[in-house]
Every structure is written in structure tokens, then in C-alpha cells.
Structure 1
Amino acid sequence: MVCSQPRGSTASQDIMKNLTKGFGKMLDACKNELNLGDHIIQDFYNYWKEEYALVNRDVGCAIICMAAKHDLITDDMKLHHGNTHEFAKSHGADDEVAKQIVAMIHDCETSHASNNDDCSKTLEIAKCFRTKIHELKWAPSMEDIIEEIMTDI
């Protein structure tokens, strides 16, 4: 089997950077749609920083909005596995990495299933996912994320 992506954390960091950038393209639309303050942008800039405390419920609401715009969640607010797999692949993940990303999000979703507040639950899922990505050393560097964002402005 020939893999299209080189193995290792650098390739995976690039994939996560591409996923973050692609997913984040909807942030401004969701910020306006949900009437969220500029603080939401700061939370997303700092998302990959392990030491950054994600405590704002609005982040969860914004993630729901962005995920919905990318067709990554179902009507009952659960991860759409097929669409999420394809989203990951369209941002540079090979089949194996895309499956791993979906599995990690699903595990986080399952561990927070008892939370009935969709925005709070989504915030907890996002924090869980961030932890799993850091454990794999896949988190993109803040410098890369900021550079990508500044290039788009």
C-alpha cells in the first residue's frame, strides 16, 4: 500500500493546520449570525494552545454553527462521520488519518453525551479533541496558524 502523505507528526500538523484553516473560514459568518463579540476570535486564535483555558460557551455555539455550514453534523447534533471523513481528506488527510480524526471526535462526543446543553457539550468535545491531537503531537504551531490567517487578510 502506498500512502499519499508522509507519515509523522509534521505531515499531521500540516493536515491539522489545513483543517483548522478550512473549518475556520466560517467563523466570521457564524460570529455575525450568532451576534457574538470579538472575544470569540481570540478564543479561536488560541484554540491549539494547550495552556489556554477554553471556558466560553459561545465557542461551542460557534463550532456548532461552523460544523453545520460544513455539513459535519446531523440534525440531532451528532458528528456526521462520512462528511467529516471527506472534509478531512479534502484538507490533506489520507484515508487512515481521516478515520483517526473521525474516531477521536466520536470518542470525545461519546464521553460527553450526557451533557444536554449543545453549546457546552460541543465546547467540551472541542477541548477533548484538542487534548487528543496534542497527545499525538499533531497540533499545528500558533505561528503557522497566525501566518495562514494573516495571509488571507
Structure 2
Amino acid sequence: MADTMKWRLFMMCVLGLALKVEKVTSSQEILKKMTMGFSKVLEQCKTEMNLSDHVMQDFYNFWREEYDLVNTEMGCAIMCMAAKFDLITDDMKLHHGKAHEFAKSHGADDDIAKQLVGLIHECEKIHMGITDDCRKVLEIAKCFRTKIHGLKWAPTLEVVLEEVMTEV
């Protein structure tokens, strides 16, 4: 009897772990798809805003935790890309409903979409005192990246670059 209970408990733990791994993998896939979605308008924003080539390097290294994002132009580029997808409001805040739908259109279920929007909202609150919009968006993006890494949802650089290269 005790052996049967131990076996059931063990199997429940294995199943729980498998489901957690599946959620992390699917979340990484969603973030990769969202990143690729943004990359489709990056060149357009770079041209429109006359941004330096350093922005491209920042974008491709965005998910690398050890990569320092310090270029304010990257914040401007993110703001431009978000505007292209109609994800920001007139007062430069995330449009929660549209961001939720954007996440869902890239494979997120309702819970993951809510969680992603919630993470960005938390980061917006933390950095609401910054008056320069490009700097504020850069700090929000860095905060979001840190939170995504904390969840182990960040796509790997290799996967993102492979996708970018197949798009070119």
C-alpha cells in the first residue's frame, strides 16, 4: 500500500515537471514568435527614424541576459515597433487589450497573454518617473527581459538568429 502511494506521488511529480517544462518551452516559443514579429518592422523603424546600426545589434542581442542595453535609440526603436503594431496609447503606455491580442496571435493562451501584459505593466509602474520616452521604454524593456529570464521563458540567441536568417 505504501509503495503504491509512493509510486503515485512520484508519477504526479514527474507529470507536474513535464507540464512545467512544456509550459516553459511553449512560452519560449511564443516569445520567439513575438520577437520575430517585431523584427519584421525593425528595419522600417530604423530607416524612418534614421537610427544607427547599433540598434540592430541591440535587437539581436536583446534576450542575452549578460548583454548591456544602454543605447537610448533602442528604446526609440522599440517604441516605433510597438506603434507599428498599435500596441501603445497616445500617452506612450502599453495598450493592454491590444498587447493581450498580440500575444495571443503569436500562440499565447489567455493566461500567458495576461501574464506577459502584467509583467510589462509592472515594469511601466517601476519606471513611470522617467520623462524621456525613449529612455523609459528602454528601461521597461530591460525590466521585462529580466522578468522573462526569471521565468526561464527567454528564447535563446541561437534560435532567434536562426529565425532571422531564414526570414532574410
TM-score w.r.t. the length of structure 1 is 0.95
Corresponding residue number in structure 2 for 1:94: 109
- Give the partner amino acid of 1:145: V
Corresponding residue number in structure 2 for 1:49: 64
Partner secondary structure for residue 27 of structure 1: helix
Q: Which runs of 4+ in 1 moved over 3 A?
A: none
Corresponding residue number in structure 2 for 1:24: 39
Of the three residues 48, 72, 82, the one matched with 2:97 is: 82
- RMSD, aligned CA: 0.9
Cα distance per residue 1:57-84 (max 9 Å; x no partner): 0000001100000000001101100000
Aligned pairs, number: 148
Residue ranges of structure 2 left out of the alignment (5+ in a row): 1-20
Between 1 and 2, higher relative CO (CA 8 Å, sep ≥ 6) is seen in: 1
- Give the partner amino acid of 1:96: D
Partner secondary structure for residue 69 of structure 2: coil
Which has more helix, going by share of residues? 2
Residue ranges of structure 1 left out of the alignment (5+ in a row): 1-5
Larger Rg: 2
Identity of aligned residues (%): 65
Query: In the aligned structure 2, how far is the partner of 1:7 from the partner of 1:122?
Result: 31
Corresponding residue number in structure 1 for 2:18: none
